[in-house]
Amino acid sequence: MALLSILCYPDPKLHTVAKPVAAVDARIQQLVVDMLETMYDAKGIGLAATQIDVHERLIVIDVSEERNQPLVLINPELVWSSPTTHLNEEGCLSVPGIYDGVTRFDAVHVNALDENGNNRVIEADGLLAVCVQHEMDHLLGKVFVEYLSPLKRNRIKTKMIKAQREESR
């Protein structure tokens, strides 16, 4: 097991478009274990491989209170979205300390492989639906702050760069 380092916005690597996972093999299964450990350690509810600089379509999620219901989505594809949307406050492990509103579908159905390579459809609503959409955006190279106004986004960018500079001192 290993903790992985998480890329921080505005790292340009966060805008890489991920490729499909070719095979759910031992390497991918180890990556799943390490990503779950990293997500729990960082107290996040979701982590996309993009955020740890691996550009393959792989997501781990746990929205349970008890932090004991890990969900692994490999090669996720959106197969249905609800006609209704809502504005929800989001944060991201790659943009620490920043929370802002993003409009998402109320519910989505996603087709994906699990950590054993089995295909299934996840029917998500509530927080899980928000999290799935947020993480799938990461795989397309999209960070949630890109939904905000250019003014807000630039403020966040400046703040992040300053925080990273102070941290590296």
Q: Does 92 bind Ni ion (CB under 5 A)?
A: yes
Smallest distance, Ni ion to C-beta of residue 127, A:
14
Residue 142 Cβ vs Ni ion, minimum distance, rounded to whole Å? 10
Who's near 122: CB < 8 A, 6+ residues apart? 71, 73, 109, 110, 112, 132
- 94 Cβ partners below 8 Å, 6+ apart? 6, 7, 8, 9, 11, 14, 51, 138, 143
Mark the segment that binds Ni ion (CB under 5 A) among 10-18, 30-38, 84-92, 109-117: 84-92
**Is 14 a residue that touches Ni ion (CB under 5 A)?**
no
Binders of Ni ion: how many residues, by CB under 5 A? 1
The two structure tokens encoding residue 1? 């097991």
Which residues are part of the catalytic machinery? 135
Binding site for Ni ion (CB under 5 A): 92
